[in-house]
Amino acid sequence: MQCFCQVPHHHHLHFLSLSPSQGHTEEVCALATHPTQNQFLTAGYDKAVHLWDSMAHLVVWSKDIGESAQAASFSPDGSIIIISTTTVGRWIVFDATTRQLISIHSDGADVIECIKFSPDGRYLAFGSRDNNIYIYLVSEEYRKFNRIGRCSGHSAYITHIGKSIEGPLFPQISLTATCSPLHFLQTGTSATRTYSRLRRAMSISSGTPQFAGS
């Protein structure tokens, strides 16, 4: 199992040995750094979520989510946590301060392997083991999520979504899996309207909407 985490340059994560009472008891697959605080979040197959203080080397809070976790991400302002679970397609939204459950969602035909917000928080992408990427429009202070597209073309499941330096809203996405070009499939709205929205969001210059693949 592979786990990925992008650590902002201003974060300094200190890795140390912890007693079993402070950490996880099973495999850890989800790791997310707080965008503004010296904190990071972990979640795993033991159904536990821990928020850590990387300077004090202490657990800030812990929560049992009742399901094994696969991936996690903070919203760009750090107010919301999104966790995907090992239940097919399921992802859950929590308030990062109160730890209260906000909503539960499901998408795709397999487990969601990775999660990525656009820098401005307006868009959210999920990479699934069904070989697709699902794109959502985010609104109402991260309380409302509307799916606006699906990208397909991979011959293997999505393991990572990373950003390039291009584009003001949602930088082009690069993926670890070798793939053919990813093509946008319109869902739930007019093709012209949805294409235009994704073209602006993903900084596509012309032609068929595609992500930059590696």
* Residues 100-139 pLDDT 10s: 999 999 999 999 999 999 888 999 999 999 999 999 999 9
Rounded Cα distance, 32 and 30, in Å: 7
Please check whether residue 1 lies inside any domain of the structure. no
Q: Residue 79's domain spans which residues? A: 28-202
Residue 8 lies in a domain: no
pTM: 0.72
The verdict on residue 23 lying in a domain is no
d(CA 187, CA 178): 25
Q: What is the CATH number of the domain that holds 146?
A: 2.130.10.10
Residues (pLDDT < 70) of the chain are 1-22, 163-214
Which pLDDT value is given to residue 181? 39
**What is the pLDDT, as a whole number, of residue 9?**
43
- Strand order through the sheet with 112-117: 112-117, 123-128, 133-139, 144-154, 179-186
47 is a domain residue: yes
Question: Does 125 fall in a domain?
Answer: yes
- pLDDT of 154: 77
Q: Provide φ and ψ at 84, rounded to 5°.
A: -95, 150
Tell me, what's the pLDDT at 144? 97
Report the distance separating Cα 93 and Cα 102, nearest Å. Answer: 5
Give how many domains the chain has, as a whole number.
Answer: 1
Q: CA angle 6-10-14, nearest 5°? A: 75
In a domain? residue 36 = yes
Task: Count the neighbouring beta carbons within 10 Å of the beta carbon of residue 214.
Answer: 11
pLDDT for the residue numbered 21: 52
The answer to whether residue 93 is domain-embedded is yes
Tell me if 81 is assigned to some domain. Answer: yes
